[in-house]
């Protein structure tokens, strides 16, 4: 019998920063966060304003056990550079769902909100889980941006083919939570956690 990986704490000491952008697939990220926490990872969630239209911050706070980051200016600390502080401890940044807008910002180095600023501040592993309409996914600009991210060492998880929010079947569906968690875990355990290297 194969042991259930959930609850095995194989990701203990690892810190994962989950950046949620605005797409209907944000609901799948709830399961991703829950599963990572059950496996022992410390999970901090950051959300764009658009993401909060789909899932409330309270949901992610309950699942992660941590305050959700929503702004570069929301810290209670005096002169706290939240993007530097948080990313310094991060072993892996997961951007899910990664919309066409977010992917474009990452590719061009634009840092005009919390999520894009965290992305450009991190020196950790980066995993991107795209989610969008098939026509958007296949647009030459999006494909060029995706190629740039891959060249820079980002790992893309998906997208897959399936039922889309526009009520059609096509490519662009965000990978299921289990696939994302498996990919993230494999990336993490390939090297020691930052906490263990200190």
For the segment 105-152, what is each residue's pLDDT rounded down to a tens digit? Answer: 999 999 888 899 999 989 999 999 999 988 889 999 999 999 999 999
For the segment 173-187, what is each residue's pLDDT rounded down to a tens digit? Answer: 899 999 999 999 999
Mean pLDDT of the chain: 87
Of residues 91 and 6, the one with the higher pLDDT is: 91
For the segment 53-69, what is each residue's pLDDT rounded down to a tens digit? Answer: 999 999 999 999 999 99
Q: Which domains occur in the chain, in start order?
A: 15-197 (3.40.50.1950)
CA distances from 139 to 33, 53, 72, 100, 171 (A): 30, 25, 31, 10, 12
Reply yes or no on whether the pLDDT at 6 is more than 50.
Answer: no
Residue 88 has what pLDDT? Answer: 81
pLDDT band per the 50, 70, 90 thresholds, residue 169: low
Rounded to 5°, angle at Cα 28 from 25 and 31: 165
Backbone angles phi, psi at 128, to 5 degrees: -125, 125
Catalytic annotation, residues:
166
């Amino acid at each position: 019998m194969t042991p259930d990986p959930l609850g095995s704490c194989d990701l203990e000491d690892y810190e994962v920063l989950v950046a949620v952008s605005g797409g209907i697939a944000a609901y799948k990220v709830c399961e991703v966060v829950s599963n990572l926490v059950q496996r022992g990872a410390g999970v901090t969630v950051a959300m764009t304003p658009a993401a909060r239209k789909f899932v409330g911050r309270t949901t992610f706070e309950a699942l992660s056990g941590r305050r959700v980051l929503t702004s570069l200016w929301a810290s209670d600390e005096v002169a706290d550079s939240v993007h530097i502080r948080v990313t310094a401890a991060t072993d892996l940044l997961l951007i899910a769902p990664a919309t066409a807008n977010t992917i474009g910002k990452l590719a061009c180095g634009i840092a005009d909100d919390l999520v894009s600023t965290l992305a450009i501040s991190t020196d950790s592993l980066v995993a991107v889980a795209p989610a969008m309409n098939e026509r958007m996914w296949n647009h030459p600009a999006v494909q060029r941006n995706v190629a740039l991210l891959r060249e820079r060492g980002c790992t893309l998880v998906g997208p897959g083919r399936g039922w889309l929010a526009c009520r059609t079947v096509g490519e662009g569906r965000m990978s299921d939570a289990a696939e994302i968690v498996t990919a993230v875990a494999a990336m993490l355990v390939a090297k020691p956690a930052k906490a263990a290297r200190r």
